[in-house]
Amino acid sequence: MNPELRRRTPTLRAARVILAKDLRIELRTLQSLSAMLLFSLTTFVLFRYGLDRTSLEGSLASGVLLMTILFAAVLGIGRLFVAEREQGGFDAFALAPIDGSALFYAKVTAQLIYLAILEAFALPVFAVLFLSDWSGLGALTAVLALLNLGLALIGTIVSVMATNSRARDLLTPLLLLPLLVPLMISAASAAAPLLDADGPSFAEFPKWLALLGLYDLIFGLIGWAVFDYLIED
Amino acid sequence: MSAPSPRILPFLAVGLIATAFGLVFFYAPLEADQGFIQKIFYLHVPLAITALVGFMLAAVHAIIHLRTGDPIHDARAYVSIHMSVIFGVAVLLTGAIWARASWGKWWVWDEPTLVSFLIVFLLYATYYPLRYAIVERDRQARYASVFAITAGAFVPLNFIAVRLAEPLIHPRTLGAANGGLPAEMMFTFLVSLAGMGLLWVTLVRFELAAKASRGHLKRLRRNLLDPDQDAIATRGLGGRIEPLIEAERA
C-alpha cells in the first residue's frame, strides 16, 4: 500500500468528527429539527381537523402517521448538505485526507438522530390525538426504526445529488418519493395491523419487517459503494 | 451491443416484428376467455419486458461507467433509459387498452403489476430533471450513473413490495398459475419478444449513432469558425478537417 494512503484519518473517527460538527450546528441553530417537529404537529392538527374523527385505526391511522413522518423527513433531508454547499464544506472535504464514506456514515447517522427525535415527539402526539388503543405502539417502534434507516440511507444519496445540482430543493422530493415507494408500502403494511381497532395483529409482521430490512440492506450497500462518486470533483 | 452491423439491424427488427404480427393474427389460437382482445398481449408484454430489461442494462452500463470513467457507457446508459421510458409509455397505453377491454376499466389501482410499472416509470421520468439540473459534464455523467444504479436496484424491490401488498388479478404471464401458455401462444410470444428486443437495440444504436455524429458535427463546425481555438480536440480527425478550413479561408 502507498504510504500516503496509510496516513489517512481512520474513517470512523472522521465520521464521528463530521457527525459532531453537524449535531453542534443543529443544536445551535435548530433549523432542521424545529421545522420537522413543527411540521409534524401542524400536519397532525390538519388531519385531526380535516378527518374529524375521534380515533383512527388500521390503514388510515398508519397512513396519517407515515405520511406525516415522510414529509417531515423530506424537510430534513433537503437541508442535510446545505452547510457543506454554502460554506465550502465539499471542497474542504475533498482536501482532507479522509475516505468519502466517512461523510456518508456521518450524514446517515445525523439523519437517523433527527428522525428518532422527530418520532419521539410525533408518536406520542399522534397517539394522543388519534389512537384509542395504544397496545401496538411498542411493535410500531421496530417498524419506524427500519423505516428511519431506509429514509436516512436514500435521503443521503438523493440529498447530495440535489444539493450539487442547479434545481436543488426541487429535486429532493422529486427523486425521493418514487424511490421510497417500496419502503413506504412495507412500513404501511407492517404498521396498519398494529393499529387495528381490536388490538394489534402480527400475522404478516415478520414478512414486512424482513422486506424493510432487505430494502435497508440493499440501499445501504449501494450508498456505501457509490457515495465516493457523488462527492469527488 | 456489438454483433450485427447497424445496416442490417433495422431490417432484421422489422422482419421479425412483421413475422410476429403474422403469427399473432394467423397462427396463435384465439384465447377462449377474452377472445380477440387478448392478442394485445403479444404487444404489451414484450414491450414491458423489453423496457424493464433496458432499465437493467442501463444500470449495468452505469456501473461500468463509474468503474472506467468512459463516457461511452454513460451515453449508453442514458440512451437505454431514454428508449425504455418511451417503451414504457407504450406499455402503459397498451395496458390501459387491454384493461378497458377485459376488466372494463382503463386503470385498476389494486393491481400490483400495473401500479409497480407506473411507479418505475415515474421514477425513471425523474432521470431527465436530475440529469439536466447538473451543469458540469463529468458530474452530470457520474450522478446520472448513480441514479441509474439506484433505480436499477429499485425495480425488483418495487415489484416485490407492490406484489406482496396486493391481491392478484393481472394474468401471471409466465407463471405456472394457469398451467402456463399453450405451445403456439408461447412460440408467438417469444417471437414477439425477440422482435421487440431487437427493435429496442436498433433504436438505441440509432440514437447513439445520432448523438455521436451530432457531437462530431459540432466539433467540425466550431473548427471551421475558429480553427485555432481547439486544435487539440481535432487532432484525432487527421487531415480531413484541413481542406475544409482551407476552403473557408480562400
Tell me how far apart the alpha carbons of residues B102 and B115 are, in angstroms, rounded to a whole number.
17
Mind telling me how many Å the CA of A169 is from chain B's nearest CA?
Answer: 11
Helix then strand count (H, E) for chain A reads 10, 0
Residue B159 has a CB neighbour count (10 Å cut-off) of 18
Q: Name residue B35's beta-bridge partners.
A: B31
Question: Do the Cβ atoms of A165 and B157 come within 8 Å?
Answer: no
Nine-digit cell string for B82: 431514454
Residue with cell 457531437: B215
Residues of chain B positioned with their CB less than 8 A from the CB of A211? 160-161, 164
What ipTM was estimated for this complex?
A: 0.85
Could you tell me if B165 lies within 8 Å of chain A, comparing CB atoms? yes
Cβ-proximal residues to A21 (8 Å cutoff; 6+ apart), any chain: none
A165: nearest CB among B66, B122, B133: B133
B134: nearest CB among A165, A181, A226: A165
Tell me how far apart the alpha carbons of residues A114 and B75 are, in angstroms, rounded to a whole number.
38
DSSP of B188-217, one letter per residue?
HHHHHHHHHHHHHHHHHHHHHHHHHHHHHH
- The count of CB pairs under 8 A between chains A and B is 85
Is B127 within 8 Å of B116 (Cβ atoms)?
Answer: no
A161: nearest CB among B123, B143, B157: B143
Question: Do the Cβ atoms of B161 and A211 come within 8 Å?
Answer: yes
B157: nearest CB among A165, A218, A230: A218
Residue positions counted in chain B: 250
Q: One digit per residue, pLDDT tens: chain A, 233 residues? A: 455 555 677 888 889 999 999 999 999 988 889 999 999 999 999 998 888 887 888 888 899 999 999 999 999 998 888 888 888 888 888 888 888 888 999 999 999 999 999 999 999 999 888 888 788 888 899 999 999 999 999 999 999 999 988 887 888 999 999 999 889 988 998 888 888 877 778 878 888 899 999 999 999 999 999 998 888 76
Question: What integer pLDDT is reported at residue B176 of this predicted model?
Answer: 45
What residues 192-211 of chain A have any CB closer than 8 A to a CB of chain B? Answer: 207-208, 211
Nine-digit cell string for A4: 500516503
Question: Do the Cβ atoms of A222 and B147 come within 8 Å?
Answer: no
Cβ-proximal residues to A102 (8 Å cutoff; 6+ apart), any chain: A9, A11, A12, A14, A15, A18
Cβ-proximal residues to B154 (8 Å cutoff; 6+ apart), any chain: A179, A182, B120, B123
Question: What integer pLDDT is reported at residue B9 of this predicted model?
Answer: 85
Nine-digit cell string for A208: 414486512
- pLDDT > 90 fraction of chain A, expressed in percent and rounded: 46
Nine-digit cell string for B234: 481535432
Q: One digit per residue, pLDDT tens: chain B, 250 residues? A: 445 566 788 888 888 888 888 888 888 777 767 777 788 888 888 999 999 999 999 999 999 999 998 889 999 999 999 999 999 999 999 988 888 888 888 888 777 778 889 999 999 999 999 999 988 888 899 999 999 999 999 998 888 887 777 655 555 555 444 446 777 788 888 888 999 999 999 999 999 999 889 989 998 998 888 766 555 444 444 444 444 444 444 4
Residues A104, A107, A109, A115, CA torsion sign: negative
Q: Name residue B31's beta-bridge partners.
A: B35
Task: Please provide residue B226's backbone torsions phi and psi, each rounded to the nearest 5 degrees.
Answer: -145, 80
The nearest alpha carbon in chain B to A154 belongs to B150
Could you tell me if A174 lies within 8 Å of chain B, comparing CB atoms? yes
Q: Helix, strand, or coil here: B5?
A: coil
The nearest alpha carbon in chain B to A214 belongs to B157
Give how far Cα B82 sits from Cα of A195, A226, B51, B144, Å: 43, 22, 10, 12
Tell me how far apart the alpha carbons of residues B73 and B58 are, in angstroms, rounded to a whole number.
9
Cβ-proximal residues to A105 (8 Å cutoff; 6+ apart), any chain: A11, A12, A15, A19
Could you tell me if A219 lies within 8 Å of chain B, comparing CB atoms? yes
Residues of chain B positioned with their CB less than 8 A from the CB of A175? 126, 130, 147
- pLDDT > 70 fraction of chain A, expressed in percent and rounded: 97
The nearest alpha carbon in chain A to B140 belongs to A165
Question: Do the Cβ atoms of B150 and A215 come within 8 Å?
Answer: no
Residues of chain A positioned with their CB less than 8 A from the CB of B143? 161, 164-165, 230
Question: Do the Cβ atoms of B149 and A157 come within 8 Å?
Answer: no
E strand or H helix at A117: helix A100-130
Mind telling me how many Å the CA of B126 is from chain A's nearest CA?
Answer: 6
Q: At residue B39, what is the residue type? A: K
Residues of chain B positioned with their CB less than 8 A from the CB of A176? none
